[in-house]
Amino acid sequence: MNKLTVNRKAHFNAAHRLFRKDWSDKKNQEVFGKCSNPNFHGHNYELIVSVTGPVDQETGFVYDMKRLKQLIYDKVEQEFDHKNLNLEVEEFKNLNPTAENIAIVIWNKLRKEITSNLGLKITLYETPRNFVTYGD
């Protein structure tokens, strides 16, 4: 059966600093530049969560978008919105909060909630022109 993808957009605003604890300030500055500002900086992240699968013949749904909205709210927005990712979000206490790693963390959180017969893809915009995609 052909598959179809449902997509839900969301956003959150968060502060971060790109750096590694095991590198010197000089090396962090060389590699991450202004993104390694010790006083942090912020982004308006735009998120697209895509769920792919067959259309259920009875409901006409691949996945209930109301449920998807609630899931993203509970697992992503509540956890990340208006937070300092490095200091306040457990997953980034020892993980550099790059767009790549944020997308992977979001995927891991949502993957646990969506059955494995459905594909899950994360698209995360860190700026209007910088974005990453991750998923199965």
Ligand X SMILES: Nc1nc2c(c(=O)[nH]1)N=C([C@H](O)[C@H](O)COP(=O)(O)OP(=O)(O)OP(=O)(O)O)CN2
**Residues classed as catalytic:** 35, 82, 126
By the 8 A CB rule, do 128 and 99 touch?
no
* 133 forms part of the interface with ligand X (CB under 6 A): no
φ, ψ at 20 (rounded to 5°) = -115, 130
Which of residues 100, 109, 119, 123 is near ligand X by CB under 6 A?
100
* 127 forms part of the interface with ligand X (CB under 6 A): yes
φ, ψ at 68 (rounded to 5°) = -65, -45
- Whose CA is closest to 103, among 57, 45, 56, 63? 45
φ, ψ at 122 (rounded to 5°) = -110, 130
* 79 forms part of the interface with ligand X (CB under 6 A): no
* 35 forms part of the interface with ligand X (CB under 6 A): yes
Nearer to ligand X, 35 or 104 (CB): 35
Question: Would you tell me which residues interact with ligand X (CB under 6 A)?
Answer: 18, 35, 98-100, 126-130
